[in-house]
Amino acid sequence: MFEIEVKVEQESDLYNHFDSRELMPSDDLIAYISNRLEERPLGEKIALSFTGAEIDKEKFKRAMDDFRKIQTRKLVKERQRALANSIRLLITGIIFVIAGITLAGVMNEVVAAVVSTIGSFSIWEAANKWLQVLPALRMKSHVYEVLSDYTLH
């Protein structure tokens, strides 16, 4: 069991200070937990323990679960948007490359080269999204998956 110990001076420190209902965890707490999760061995369960002030564990668990659900939904939408954009870029790039090849025999070679280059850049941007953006979003969603199964001490 991988234990993450959080020092709490008062219970309100756990929640976002803009949220008067205390329904969302604080950004600092989420950043701290995310950083500590990088040290966690794969497959090991998480235990959150709090030292210092007494906290309402049920309230905190509800806040974390709500936060996780909201963030997971946001990431799903962001991944869908990134995938749709990369597909659009790929199709646009292919069209421009084909147009550049077709124009090479009809128009000035410089114009054809510029059109083909624009197509190549579009294809490169699509590949960049597939190789960098989408995996980064998958890693973020993995953090929230891990946060779905933890114990409080």
pLDDT band per the 50, 70, 90 thresholds, residue 112: very high
**Averaged over 46-74, what is the pLDDT?**
89
**CA–CA distances in Å: residue 24 to residues 6, 64, 128, 152:** 16, 7, 33, 17
Q: Which residues contact 19 (CB under 8 A, 6 or more apart)?
A: none
Q: How far apart are CA 114 and CA 32, in angstroms?
A: 48
Instruction: Note down the domain range covering 140.
Output: 2-152
> Is pLDDT at 109 greater than 80 in this prediction?
yes
- pLDDT exceeds cutoff 80 at 19: no
How confident is the model over 118-136, as pLDDT tens digits?
999 999 999 999 999 999 9
Report the domain count for the chain. Answer: 1
Which amino acid makes up residue 93? G
Dihedral, 146, 147, 148, 153 alpha carbons, nearest 10? 120
Q: Which comes out higher in pLDDT, residue 148 or 93?
A: 93
Question: What global pTM score does this model have?
Answer: 0.74
Q: pLDDT grade, residue 115 (50/70/90)?
A: very high
Looking at residue 101, its pLDDT comes to 92
pLDDT of residue 88: 97
